[in-house]
Structure 1
Amino acid sequence: MIDETAFPERAEGAAGAPAPSGDPANTTTMKAGAGASLTAFARRHRLALSITGGVLALALLGTGAVVAGAAVSAPAETRAVAAASTAAQTEDPGRPAPAAAVAASRIRTCSVADRAADGRLADLQAQVVNATTGEVLYDRGGTTPSRTASVMKVLTSAAALSVLGPDHRVATTAVKGSEPGSVVLVGGGDVTLSRTSSGTETVYPDAAHLDDLAAQVRSAWDADPSNPLLTKLVLDASLFGGDEWEPSWDLVEREFGYMSNIAALMVDGDRDDPGAETSWRTADPIGRAGDAFASELGGIGTIERGTAPAGAQRLGQVLSPTVAQLVDKALVVSDNTVAEMLVRLVAIETGAGNTFGAINAGVLEGLAAYGVDTTGITVVDGSGLSDHNAVPPSYLTRLFVKINAREANLGVIMDGLPVSGQRGSLSYGDRFSGDNAVADGAVSAKTGWIETGYTLSGVVRAQDGATLTFAVYALGDVSDDTKQAIDTLTTGFFLCGDNLSNR
């Protein structure tokens, strides 16, 4: 817009000179006079007019002649509207819009740095999440996949609940053999089947018993007078294939009574003592089961391995505890053999296969139902004994948000977890003792231990009322008292609650 004060003659004529009369003569005279004045003015101010003309030309090119004319001669209100329109049209489209104001983050002040610096934790990985908001409160290598020890049983249990369902039971069946006088014992994968007398309490509540199955077989056999004497027993353990012992497992796990060979037919988890959680296991669980069943049947002269004939007559059947009961056993006392039973059945049910090599695909398919990203996870076994398992702590913290919320059937896991000072492997005298006893009853979590690491993951009901999910891995050069250092760090999470600082 041109500044009118640069041209006092124009300003005055436009605003202060008397209006011309209607007399034609006067009009002619005024036109002539005006023409002479303009000519003289142009001669005196040739340079100024050149500059002003250039400016006016640019204005006309930028906004259009109509807008420029209106801006000069229209009333003030109209000129303001035109100016706004011009500004809108000429605004730089490449200029970024102002960013929205970012809400200030809460400054949390409760630090666990001294607890996390404990050398007993070796190579520490940890993550803590507020289960209500989903906010990560604390993170130390939380997205790096690493070995889990027995915390792997949480994934195994979640996959089993998704694929098999909490009410699923496994059948052990006896059928008529293809040879006269033969019966086939068909293993369905139930490692809890017991050789003890019915009514006897073993380490597995609600376990099926071989004497019950043998009584059914004898009754069905004797009901047909055409049957010869029952003299031969065939053992069919073909449901599970491949190796019975995962190559990365340390054999001391079997010698010390923590793990059996994995077969579809066994009794009492292949324990020497059916009533002891930790008990020596054999290298031939199928053979032990066969001997026990032959003893119950009586009259058996031959025992051999084989498979049941297609369409064979069923002579009897017994059922395992439910998957929900098996999950409880796998979690609360960390039963390795039950965990391997569950994970193998998951692999078979998903169609992945029946060997150790099929476990990874089966478990990942089962976990997909929960909608938590499984990127980076490698599942070698169901128990967590292998160093080759890999799960990031961040996966566990997010899965435990869903477990805590009891989504789908995951409430079964919540109910089966050890509880600090009260239940299972967190109630032992060396867990959450001393100053850490302040968190008794507040931590529901799965414990883990292998030679190269200790782990703990689950839910904390914090002192301030916040619910936290957490995972702690202490890996590398660890010792027996590493678990106390993990308890101390977890107690720090309990004390800090939602005020937990990531510093």
Structure 2
Amino acid sequence: MAEPVEKPTEEPLNRWGGWKAPTYLKRGSGSQDLRLVAGSAVLGLVVAVGAVLAAGPWDSGQRKAERDLAAVQERAGGAHHQGEASDTPAPAPSAPPVLTALGDTAGHSAAAGKNALAAALAPLLDSPALGSVRTAVVVDVATGEQVYADGATTPMTPASTVKIATAAAALSALGPHHRIATTVRLSPDSRTVTLAGGGDPTLDEAALRSLAADTARSLRADGAGAVRLTYDTSRYSGPAVHPIGRNENIARVSALMADEGRLDGSTRGPAPRTDDPAGDAARTFAELLDEAGVETRSGPTPGRTAAGARTVATHLSAPLSALVERALTNSDNDIAEALARQTALKAGEPASFAGGRRAVTARLKALGLPTAGARLADGSGLDRADKVTATLLAGLLALAADPDHPELRPVLTGLPVAGFSGTLGDRYTATSRGTGLIRAKTGTLTGVNSLAGTAVDAKGRLLAFAFLASGTTSPDEAEAALDTLAAALTGAAG
């Protein structure tokens, strides 16, 4: 039985009947940039993956290996020259040896290419493994043209692929260099110290230890004695428990927490969570203050920061770009919800589920994206009330490659690499079709499976895609069917 879907309002259509992408993807230096992106995905993975695994996937919002490779290619003659633009993007400078093996289709007309793509994708999309309702959109990133669409404007439950929208909105609102501050403030009478949460779910014991040391130095300089310790979580509002209820996939949403409230020492995936993330973080801070030589009169208590209090210690999170990449690579629900709330605060909305929904939606509209039928109930995709279209997700990915929107680039660099990293690490192997040519965000709920990302085709074009399925009965079979669809975009699927 097909899921009921909301009727979207009409959106501008291109000549293929799909959403008309904004004219932000220009010929010239922009297409050259995209060829460099494609080239790094084709040839650079042999070098880049080793560097990523050795150094970690996050480097202040850019994958270091890809950035270095792009710079090398530019020095080797990758700069655009007047008069080189054409209607069809040329293969990436580094790609020809690989593309020859895949089968070069550069001589095909645009119409023939679209027909071939439809012939390849349509039967795969009809797989029973993809459930009762399935939609798909593929966009040529260099031109913004929708080259394949099936159910493009049908709102679907996206599961974790909604993190793409959350991440793009946060980067657009705050910029990739934004850092979330956790502060310690001292009351005007020097008798009360307050640990004030700013919404950083990646705060850890090392950060709390540094805050305690800085606080102790400041108190000694002031000649302060024993202090009362409070903690302030007022930056966030609304329900702390996600609408799905208590769940090992996400902690209680709090402006103050350490290690995402995890109780087992893990850094990713499901884990037992504390019922009191803010209180636990404050108690750890109290112990560290004691070690640093600061006497507290009693255990920490919740409270608001005193009027006129001054900041005596500050910890800044990793840059937002790195948080986005971590959220996408590991499908981190706690970071995703924090990104939605940071977007809400920037917009002057309450830092709550409702405020995040309004702020993220408004940001996507401001970017010129088609939001008809969309409902962004949370930032993580755990809520089944979330609805997006394949057109919106593919459009977001294409926009993230726009040379005029470098602030969105971490949306692409954070996508797991097929067969190598994150939630795609075990979905492809080194010998699988599409390995290394596909980067995509996964999505899984009971009966819902999705995949949205980018792929390099046999002509060296970078394609953005979104495949959404509901009514699935076997997660393993649905994931395999989605992976086959994505692999078909590379030209490697037979």
The answer to whether the Cα contact below 8 Å between 2:325 and 2:414 also exists between their aligned partners in 1 is yes
SS in 1 for 2:428: coil
- In structure 2, relative to structure 1, the CA distance for the partners of 1:136 and 1:314 (3 Å cut) is closer
Which residue of 2 is the match for residue 267 of structure 1? 258
The answer to whether the Cα contact below 8 Å between 1:260 and 1:270 also exists between their aligned partners in 2 is yes
1:241 and 2:237 are equivalent in the alignment:
yes
Counterpart CA distance in 2 for 1:271 and 1:396 is 31
- 1:80-128: CA deviation from partner (whole Å, max 9, x where unpaired): xxxxxxxxxxxxxxxxxxxxxxx99547234333322221110211112
Counterpart CA distance in 2 for 1:368 and 1:267 is 34
| Aligned residue pair count | 374
The answer to whether the Cα contact below 8 Å between 2:286 and 2:299 also exists between their aligned partners in 1 is no
Q: Which runs of 5+ in 1 are unaligned?
A: 1-102, 199-208
Aligned match for 1:228, one of 217, 225, 229: 225
CA deviation after TM superposition for structure 1 residue 275, in Å: 4.2
- 1:371-412: CA deviation from partner (whole Å, max 9, x where unpaired): 222222111111111001111001111222222334411212
Counterpart CA distance in 2 for 1:267 and 1:282 is 10
- In structure 2, relative to structure 1, the CA distance for the partners of 1:104 and 1:285 (3 Å cut) is closer
1:438 and 2:406 are equivalent in the alignment:
no
Aligned match for 1:172, one of 166, 182, 186: 182
The answer to whether the Cα contact below 8 Å between 2:166 and 2:336 also exists between their aligned partners in 1 is yes
1:468 and 2:463 are equivalent in the alignment:
yes
Which residue of 1 is the match for residue 213 of structure 2? 215
- Aligned ranges for residues 196-215 of structure 1 at < 5 Å? 198=206, 209-215=207-213
The answer to whether the Cα contact below 8 Å between 1:262 and 1:337 also exists between their aligned partners in 2 is yes
Aligned match for 1:121, one of 130, 138, 144: 130
Which residue of 2 is the match for residue 36 of structure 1? none
SS in 2 for 1:386: coil
CA deviation after TM superposition for structure 1 residue 173, in Å: 0.8
1:450 and 2:435 are equivalent in the alignment:
no
CA deviation after TM superposition for structure 1 residue 456, in Å: 0.6
State, as a whole percentage, how many aligned pairs show the same letter.
34
- Aligned ranges for residues 483-498 of structure 1 at < 5 Å? 483-495=479-491
- Aligned ranges for residues 194-343 of structure 1 at < 5 Å? 194-195=204-205, 198=206, 209-225=207-223, 227-230=224-227, 232-247=228-243, 249-251=244-246, 253-254=247-248, 258-278=249-269, 279-298=271-290, 299-300=295-296, 301-343=298-340
CA deviation after TM superposition for structure 1 residue 179, in Å: 6.8
Aligned match for 1:416, one of 389, 408, 414: 414
Letter in 2 for 1:234: T
Counterpart CA distance in 1 for 2:178 and 2:451 is 28
Counterpart CA distance in 2 for 1:116 and 1:331 is 25
Counterpart CA distance in 2 for 1:385 and 1:454 is 12
1:155 and 2:165 are equivalent in the alignment:
yes
Counterpart CA distance in 2 for 1:496 and 1:274 is 41
More deviation, 213-222/275-284: 275-284
Counterpart CA distance in 2 for 1:378 and 1:114 is 30
SS in 1 for 2:183: strand
Letter in 2 for 1:268: D
The answer to whether the Cα contact below 8 Å between 1:454 and 1:478 also exists between their aligned partners in 2 is no
1:396 and 2:402 are equivalent in the alignment:
no
1:138 and 2:133 are equivalent in the alignment:
no
- In structure 2, relative to structure 1, the CA distance for the partners of 1:406 and 1:475 (3 Å cut) is farther
Counterpart CA distance in 2 for 1:250 and 1:113 is 38
The answer to whether the Cα contact below 8 Å between 1:420 and 1:443 also exists between their aligned partners in 2 is yes
CA deviation after TM superposition for structure 1 residue 274, in Å: 3.9
- 1:217-275: CA deviation from partner (whole Å, max 9, x where unpaired): 111111122x2312x2111000000100122x253x32xxx211100000011111344
SS in 1 for 2:182: strand
Counterpart CA distance in 1 for 2:425 and 2:472 is 25
- Aligned ranges for residues 344-359 of structure 1 at < 5 Å? 344-359=341-356
Which residue of 2 is the match for residue 45 of structure 1? none
SS in 2 for 1:183: strand
Which residue of 1 is the match for residue 22 of structure 2? none
The answer to whether the Cα contact below 8 Å between 2:340 and 2:357 also exists between their aligned partners in 1 is no
Counterpart CA distance in 2 for 1:150 and 1:488 is 19
CA deviation after TM superposition for structure 1 residue 433, in Å: 4.2
Letter in 2 for 1:150: S
CA deviation after TM superposition for structure 1 residue 184, in Å: 0.7
- Aligned ranges for residues 23-172 of structure 1 at < 5 Å? 105-106=111-112, 108-109=115-116, 110-122=119-131, 123-172=133-182
CA deviation after TM superposition for structure 1 residue 348, in Å: 1.1
Counterpart CA distance in 2 for 1:143 and 1:293 is 49
